[in-house]
A and B are shown apart, each in its own frame.
Chain A
Amino acid sequence: MVRFVARRLLQGVAVVFLVATLAFILFRLAPGDPFTRMGDASSASQEFKAQARRNLGLDQPLHTQYFRYIANLARGDLGMSFSEQRPVLRAIADRVPATVVLAAAALLIDFLLGIFIGAAQGSRAGSKADDLLSVLTLTLYSVPVFWLGLMLMLVFAHNVGLLDLLPATGSKTTGVYEYLTPLGQLTDRIRHLILPAVALGLVGAAGTARYQRAAMLDVIRQDFIRTARAKGLRERSVLLGHALRNSLLPIITLFGLSFPILLSGTVLVETVFAWPGLGKFVVDAIFARDYNVVTGAVIISACMVVLGNLLADLLYRAVDPRVRGVV
Chain B
Amino acid sequence: MSELLRVRHLTTSFMTGAGLARAVDDVSLTLLEGETLGMVGESGCGKTVTALSLLRLVDRPGHIAHESVIEYQGKDLMQMSPAQLRQIRGAEIAMIFQEPTASLNPVLTVGAQVDEAVRAHRSVSRADARARTVELFELVGIPDPAKRVNEYPHQLSGGMQQRAMIAMALSCNPRILIADEPTTALDVTIQAQILELLVELKQRLGMAMILITHDLGIVAGVADRVAVMYGGQIVEQANTDALFRQPAHPYTSALLRAVPRLDQPATRLATIPGAVPPATAWPPACRFHPRCPQTMDHCKSEMPGLTETGPAHLTRCWLAEEQHRRDA
Q: Which residues of A are interface residues toward B (Cβ below 8 A)?
A: 126, 221-224, 226-235, 237, 241-242, 245-246, 319-322
List which B43-82 residues lie within 8 A (CB) of chain A.
52, 55, 57, 59-60, 82
Instruction: Given A230-B95, A234-B86, check contact A319 B107 (CB 8 Å).
Output: yes
Main secondary structure of the interface of B (DSSP, over half): mixed
In the complex, whether B87 has a CB less than 8 A from a CB of chain A is yes
Determine if B59 and A221 form an interchain contact, defined as CB atoms under 8 angstroms apart: yes
Chain B residue nearest to A233 (CB atoms) is B120
Cβ of B261 to closest chain A Cβ, rounded Å? 34
Which B residue sits closest to A235, measured CB to CB?
A: B82
Inside 8 A of A223's CB, which chain B residues have their CB?
Answer: 97, 99, 102-103
* B105 partner, pick from A221, A229, A235, A242, beta carbons under 8 A: A242
B106 touches A230 (CB 8 A): no
In the bound complex, what is the Cα–Cα distance between A267 and B94 (angstroms)?
A: 57
Interface residue? B168 (CB, 8 A) = yes
What's the Cα separation between A205 and B52 when bound, in Å?
Answer: 37
Q: Which residues of B contact A230 (CB under 8 A)?
A: 55, 57, 89-90, 94-95
B152→A231 contact, CB < 8 A: no
Chain B 249-273 interface 0/1 with A at a Cβ cutoff of 8 Å (1 = within): 0000000000000000000000000
One of A224, A229, A320, A321 near B89 (C-beta < 8 A): A229
Docked-complex contact B121 and A232, CB < 8 angstroms? yes
- Chain B positions within 8 Å of A, measured between CB atoms, are 52, 55, 57, 59-60, 82, 86-91, 94-95, 97, 99, 102-108, 113, 116-117, 120-121, 152, 154, 165, 168, 171
B154 / chain A contacts, CB cutoff of 8 Å: 321-322
Q: How far is the CA of A221 from the CA of B58 in the complex (A)?
A: 11
- Return the contact of A232 from the options B60, B91, B99 (Cβ within 8 A): B91
- Taken together as a complex, chains A and B put the C-alpha atoms of A230 and B154 apart, in Å, by 21
Q: What residues of chain A lie closer than 8 Å to B52, measured between beta carbons?
A: 226
Q: Please indicate the chain B residues that have their CB under 8 angstroms from the CB of A224 in the complex.
A: 102-106
Shortest C-beta distance, B107 to chain A (Å), equals 6
A233 contacts B116, C-beta separation under 8 Å:
yes
Q: Which of A227, A229, A235, A321 contacts B107 (CB 8 A)?
A: A321
Find out whether the CB atom of B106 lies under 8 angstroms from the CB atom of A320: yes
User: Are A231 and B105 in touch, CB under 8 angstroms?
Assistant: no
CB of B321, distance to nearest CB on chain A (Å): 38
Q: Which residue of B lies closest to A226 (CB)?
A: B57
Query: Closest residue to A248 on the B side, CB-wise?
Result: B107
Specify which chain A residues have a CB less than 8 angstroms from the CB of B108 in the assembled complex. Answer: 242, 245
Residues of chain A lying within 8 A (CB to CB) of residue B116: 228, 231, 233, 237, 241
Known contacts: A232-B120, A321-B152. The answer to whether A227 contacts B104 by CB under 8 A is yes
